Every structure is written in C-alpha cells, then in structure tokens.
Structure 1
C-alpha cells in the first residue's frame, strides 16, 4: 500500500475515534449538578417549543439533563406540548381531559370575572402549556363557553 494511502487511512481512523469519543462522553462538566426534568424545567421547555424557540428548548433540556446534543434534539422533536397541534381544539381539550386543576379553573374564573383577562391567559398557558393565541381564544370565550 502506498504511503499516502496509509496516511489517509490513519487520519480517517483518528478522526473517527475523536468523533465517537465526543459523542459518547459529550461535553459534560463533572462539577455541575444536573437538576433533571422537574416540572419547572418541563414547563420552560414547553413554553420555548410553543413560542417556536426550539434551540432554546434544546439548550434548557441539555442543561437540566446533561444529554448529548443529538439526544436532546431528538427529545425536543418528540416533545408533547399540551395545546400545540391542531390548534385551539387541543387547548379546549385540556379543560375536558382534566389537565387543569380545580384550583387553576377557579383562579382563572376569578381573573376573568375581575376583568384581568391577560393574567387569566398567562395562567391558562402556564397550566396547560397552550400557546398565547390558544390561551387567548379559550379565555375570550371562557365566561360563555365553559361550565364553571
């Protein structure tokens, strides 16, 4: 085998080893404590995805779990965000499927009665993971369409 071909093969093997080592080990900071997927982290990730900020969602996921980039991207691509999808129908189903607690329902009702619809929308979006437009549509019809 010519020396040039040997050199190319050796370089290719070294590159492959470095890439595999990086994927297996990732960029882990051994001194950093991971918080894991707490409810707060899940809510943050859902908000970022709903807002269309997928890169920020991946960053938050990686910071919380220490996952490699490819694993985090895969997790975010398959992430279920309540209220996202077909539209307001998903947000409305969160009411009927019980994703809103009784406490959240009563608090939203109080805010709607008090004329604080912006606060009610924010609370609904936080509780269900709905996007701003979905929460707005639900709260707009809250006092006439919902049985509370």
Structure 2
C-alpha cells in the first residue's frame, strides 16, 4: 500500500474517533452549573414566548437546565403562558355566545383566584357543555383580570 494512502486512512480513522467521542461525551463545560427552572427563569421564558421569541426561550431553557435541544424545543412548544392560548379565546367566545352567564363567570374567577381549579373546571363544563379536556384547557389559561 502506498504511504500516502496509509496516511490518509490514519487521518480518517483519527477524525472518525474524534467525531464519535464528541458525539458520545459532548462538549460540556465541567465548571458550568445549571440553575434550574427558578421563578426568574420561568418568567424570562414566558416573556420571550409572549414576545414571539421562541428561539431565545429555548436558549434560556437550555442554559438553565442543560437539556438537549430536542427536549428544550418540546418543553417550550408546550410551555404555558398565563393569559394566552386557546383557553382565552374559548372563554371569550363562551361569554359572547351566551353559554356562560355573568354569575358563572364571576364564580369561576373566584374559584381560580382561590386555587380551586378543579371546581372551576367542573363549573365551566356544566355551564357551557364543554368536555372535561376543553374545560381544563380553558381554566388552565383563565385570566381573572379579563372581562370575558
């Protein structure tokens, strides 16, 4: 075998080993400490999502938790931001369509404020005829400051 071919093969094998090593062990900074999802971090993430900056939210999530990119993207895609989401639109529609009375709306807001979300979900489902999953989605994003 020609010496140049041997040299090329050796370089290729060394590069393959380096790539595999990097994929398996990653480039982790051993000195880096992850802070986790503190209230401040959660607030920053919610703010970035509300502003439409999902990439920044993913970056903040990854820096705080050390999660791999696919997990961070999945977490941000399912992130709950109070006052946004399908529940707000559905609650407003239920009010304007007459399915939710003012009395029921006020009672639901009281229950949500008191932290009794299960009772609020049951009341919403009973008042509007929504399914349990629909009621859960709506109460999950119920904003007591909105005048539905």
Give the shorter-chain TM-score range. Answer: 0.3 to 0.5
Q: TM-score, normalised by structure 2?
A: 0.47
Q: TM-score, normalised by structure 1?
A: 0.47
Larger Rg: 2
